Structure 1
Amino acid sequence: MALRTAGRVLVVFLWSVTVVLGQDDWSVSYTTQSICTFKESTVDLSSSYTYPSGYTVTTTFWFTKYNAEGPVSLSDDPDYKGRVMYSKDRENGHTLTITDLRESDSATYKFRFTDQTGKWRYTGEPGVTLSVTGLQVKLTVGFWYNTLTCSTTCTLTDNPTYIWYKNGHKVKEDTSSSYPDSFSDVDSYSCAVKGHEDLRSSAVCQKCWSVTYTHQKICALKGSTVDISCSYTYPSNHEIKKAFWFTKWSDKDAEDLSSVPGYEGHIEYLGDKESDCTLRITDLRLNDSAGYRFRFITSGDKFACSPVSLTVTDLQVKMKTSLFSSWVTLTCSTTCTLTDNPTYIWYRNGHKVKEDTSSLYSDYFRDTDSYSCAVKGHENLHSPAVCVRGQNCWSVTYPHQGVCALKGSNSGYILHV
């Protein structure tokens, strides 16, 4: 089993637990029966299966729910749209990958397979229990000092190391989830787990420094506009002198994005000097993918918080064709899971043919057909067209999907960009 967050891999070795129910040689083995991991991270659930000779397995899938027709494959469950992937990693081995985990993903996951006749159906019991948790700081007030606890709703695997932050600055690293300290009303505390520092808890405070983001991870389309929304608090006896966003440190200090080459006219600070710290980035580029931090400086101190991870992706069409029929399966692919459950639009030879919440599209094709995709609300950000058979197909490729030219200049005509 491997638990992953962006840029990091935490590998946990566990004893394999084999669960064998049924009769003869029908069985399913799970690598582990219980996993506790973080929301917004990625998890792999692994299984292997056996069946009697003389049978051929034609359908394999994982599920958590049933409908009137039986178990519902996660790939058909709208709650998991764009966040699950099945892969065969060894003989009769099957791995389920779930990305961008949510607390609502906490459930028991079971593997199921059927033979070529559809008569033999086998489900591995009892399955894998997945618990998804966030971090929360709990405060216990004492007479001489207070005790803070970095709390989770389940017991994290592999004895994690906890990191504590006071007023946004790292102050302690320990295997204990508790941290005793004496602090004033203006102090704030948050915690994280080593290896997952980007998944920090919300800050706990009374009259203190804190920053709260609407999302800690954002996936947005190249060429679009994104708002990184956040709010902040600070002691009432302080006055905001400066507030800004940054991605890098220069000479041991934060570098205001508004003064970084390449960001002029590309970002807009929508915040105020009261509580709002929203940043808008327009015309997103792939190299805008980074961790964005908000910082504010008051008359008495300065505060910087954990980053918001922004990943910028373009759209690409990936296809699978059949050797024996004129049937193609297309995927509107991105490098990250787009935020807010988008609706996909499909185009064949430049004409709209389908609109669906699924990123998959199957169709009969001619050798001259080409396909492209877009996301509803961003129809001007098409993927490049992909030709099904070679180069003899309908397609138009533009070096830019939008052009701004002076009146009277020789910019030519732009059609359907």
Structure 2
Amino acid sequence: MLVVWDSTVDIYSCVVEGHAALHSPVVCVQVKVTPEQFSEYKTLTCITTCVLTGNPTYIWYKNGQIVTDNTSPYSVLPDAADSYSCAVKGHEGLLSPAVCVQGQSCYRVTYTKRRICVLKGSTVDISCTVGYYYTTSSFWFRSDKSTPEDLTTDPGYARRVKCTGTYRGPFTLRITDLREEDSAEYRFTFKTQNIDWGHSFPGTTLSVTGLQVKVTPAAEGQKTLTCSTTCTLTDNPTYIWYKNGQNVQGVSSPMYSISSEDADSYFCAVKGRLSSPAVYKPKTSVSVSPSGEIVEGSSVTLTCSSDANPPVKSYTWYKKNGGDYQSMTGPQHVFSHIQSSDSGEYYCESQNEMGTDRSGTINMDVKYKPKNPSVSVSPSGEIVEGSSVTLTCSSDANPPVDKYTWYKKNVTSPKASGQSYSITNIISEDRGEYYCEAENKGWNNSILDVFVDVLCKLPHL
């Protein structure tokens, strides 16, 4: 049978691995002293209420200091002022209470609570009693320091720490305005004329936690808000819930059920203390980068921004009157080589556990130079000398073409301007190739050309 140790409560329990539900709260480790009456030697036995397989090794503490690794039992001389405690090696957190070798008065520290969980910003009292009344000096310290340091001289605790207690005790460490970094194990040490109480004896573990609202699906059409902490609060707090900043009357439980369609903002608090951040559905907007006008062939990024708690877990992009542009990896949609066909209105939807929100639309107006030119001749068919003919130039562009210029091949000066060029009373000298130049200057003040060859054929008369 393999035994694991559950040390999450002050009274510990032994748990058979794989059968955690079978454990019962019992004191796991204690020291038995025999014989009970005065004798030249005392035998100390480390007793566990679980059956341990193999040959476990025990750690023995004398006056709060590790003295040996040994098997149980352990023989010692009966010194009336000494105390002893034991633990199974590898599970030192499950330390037995210290016992006196003779009588009930000896060197020992007994902590009122071995574990305390309190809220950030609050005040905590950590207390202990000392079994020997004639202490010459004492102080509280954090066990994670390489060398024990008196907390009253630690700059990190300046004006937040107060120690009380006379030479008879009890001794209390009060810490105010608690911070999460105050989470640590706190120990008490003292000196007498004969001994210095060991620093290795476990003390009280303090956990400082904030409040957070977790959102989980519940029954159909419902979701559950839970006012959660990273540890179980030591006291029995009264919870308060707020909806859109207003107190929800009649609710004191850490859990609160709301409709799945509820889009309001909620946060929780412990009466008289800390409040959690609010949870609410996303508030979504969309932006385009780079800003300014968009030129065909450039790279353009659409970004969906959302203020939400819990954080947004999915984004979906849509083109108005078009297909959806779903982004599976984040809030951005990138056009690496944007085309004129990408013009249109876009919006995104963001979703978290509290709901879904849709952004406003953003218009993507892709600018491009004239393209897809075409030239028509009217009337069509043979052109007879003396008749009239009209050439018309068309081109797709954004912004639209604002200037057309007509040229005859091998002639430097332009023949005409405008989308149409009419030749009246045509003569043989008008025979040749014509082309038009389409120009738009709307977005970059440069001329963009498209060339079209036009052949006018005149019969020999």
Q: TM-score, normalised by structure 2?
A: 0.54
Structure 2 counterpart of 1:242, which letter? S
Structure 1 counterpart of 2:227, which letter? C
Residue in structure 1 matching 2:118, options 209, 212, 220:
220
Aligned residue in 2 for 1:198: 93
Matched ranges for 1:26-105 at <5 A: 38=5, 40-41=7-8, 100=9, 102=11
Find out whether 1:302 has 2:185 as its counterpart: no
Find out whether 1:291 has 2:185 as its counterpart: yes
Aligned residue in 2 for 1:273: 167
Judged with a 3 Å threshold, the aligned counterparts in structure 2 of structure 1 residues 179 and 199 are, in CA distance, closer, same or farther, namely same
Structure 2 counterpart of 1:254, which letter? P
Residue in structure 2 matching 1:312, options 184, 201, 208:
208
Distance 2:194 2:58 in 1: 29
1:328-354 CA deviation, whole Å, 9 max, x = no partner? 211111111111333322222122226
Residue in structure 2 matching 1:360, options 248, 255, 261:
255
The answer to whether the 8 Å contact 1:37/1:133 transfers is: no
Give the match's secondary structure for 1:255. coil
| Cα distance, 1:299 vs structure 2 | 2.6
Aligned residue in 2 for 1:254: 148
Which consecutive unaligned segments of at least 5 residues does structure 1 have?
1-12, 15-35, 42-99, 112-126, 397-417
1:5-44 CA deviation, whole Å, 9 max, x = no partner? xxxxxxxx86xxxxxxxxxxxxxxxxxxxxx665633xxx
Judged with a 3 Å threshold, the aligned counterparts in structure 2 of structure 1 residues 355 and 178 are, in CA distance, closer, same or farther, namely farther
Residue in structure 1 matching 2:283, options 371, 378, 391:
391
The answer to whether the 8 Å contact 1:228/1:279 transfers is: yes
| Cα distance, 1:253 vs structure 2 | 4.4
| Cα distance, 1:199 vs structure 2 | 2.7
1:359-380 CA deviation, whole Å, 9 max, x = no partner? 322112655411111223xx33
Aligned residue in 2 for 1:165: 61
The answer to whether the 8 Å contact 2:213/2:225 transfers is: yes
Judged with a 3 Å threshold, the aligned counterparts in structure 2 of structure 1 residues 199 and 267 are, in CA distance, closer, same or farther, namely farther
The answer to whether the 8 Å contact 1:39/1:102 transfers is: no
| Cα distance, 1:290 vs structure 2 | 0.6
Judged with a 3 Å threshold, the aligned counterparts in structure 2 of structure 1 residues 145 and 160 are, in CA distance, closer, same or farther, namely same
| Cα distance, 1:167 vs structure 2 | 0.7
Which consecutive unaligned segments of at least 5 residues does structure 2 have?
285-305, 310-461
Q: TM-score, normalised by structure 1?
A: 0.59
Aligned residue in 1 for 2:224: 329
Structure 1 counterpart of 2:279, which letter? V
1:210-249 CA deviation, whole Å, 9 max, x = no partner? 1111110111110011111211122x6xx42211100157
The answer to whether the 8 Å contact 1:331/1:360 transfers is: yes
1:180-236 CA deviation, whole Å, 9 max, x = no partner? 1113101100112223223311110133101111110111110011111211122x6
Aligned residue in 1 for 2:437: none
| Cα distance, 1:147 vs structure 2 | 0.8
1:32-60 CA deviation, whole Å, 9 max, x = no partner? xxxx665633xxxxxxxxxxxxxxxxxxx
Judged with a 3 Å threshold, the aligned counterparts in structure 2 of structure 1 residues 159 and 333 are, in CA distance, closer, same or farther, namely farther
Structure 2 counterpart of 1:40, which letter? S
* Identity rate, percent: 48
| Cα distance, 1:390 vs structure 2 | 1.0
Aligned residue in 2 for 1:3: none
Aligned residue in 2 for 1:184: 79
The answer to whether the 8 Å contact 1:139/1:147 transfers is: yes
Find out whether 1:381 has 2:274 as its counterpart: yes
Distance 1:329 1:158 in 2: 47
The answer to whether the 8 Å contact 2:214/2:226 transfers is: yes
Give the match's secondary structure for 1:155. coil
**Number of residue pairs aligned between Structure 1 and Structure 2:** 279
Structure 2 counterpart of 1:170, which letter? I
Aligned residue in 1 for 2:43: 147
Structure 2 counterpart of 1:167, which letter? N
Give the match's secondary structure for 1:133. coil
Give the match's secondary structure for 1:391. strand
Distance 2:227 2:77 in 1: 53
Distance 2:209 2:53 in 1: 32
Judged with a 3 Å threshold, the aligned counterparts in structure 2 of structure 1 residues 228 and 289 are, in CA distance, closer, same or farther, namely same
Judged with a 3 Å threshold, the aligned counterparts in structure 2 of structure 1 residues 276 and 352 are, in CA distance, closer, same or farther, namely same
Give the match's secondary structure for 2:24. strand
Structure 2 counterpart of 1:342, which letter? P
| Cα distance, 1:102 vs structure 2 | 4.5
Distance 1:190 1:138 in 2: 10
Judged with a 3 Å threshold, the aligned counterparts in structure 2 of structure 1 residues 219 and 160 are, in CA distance, closer, same or farther, namely farther
The answer to whether the 8 Å contact 2:114/2:205 transfers is: yes
The answer to whether the 8 Å contact 1:139/1:149 transfers is: yes
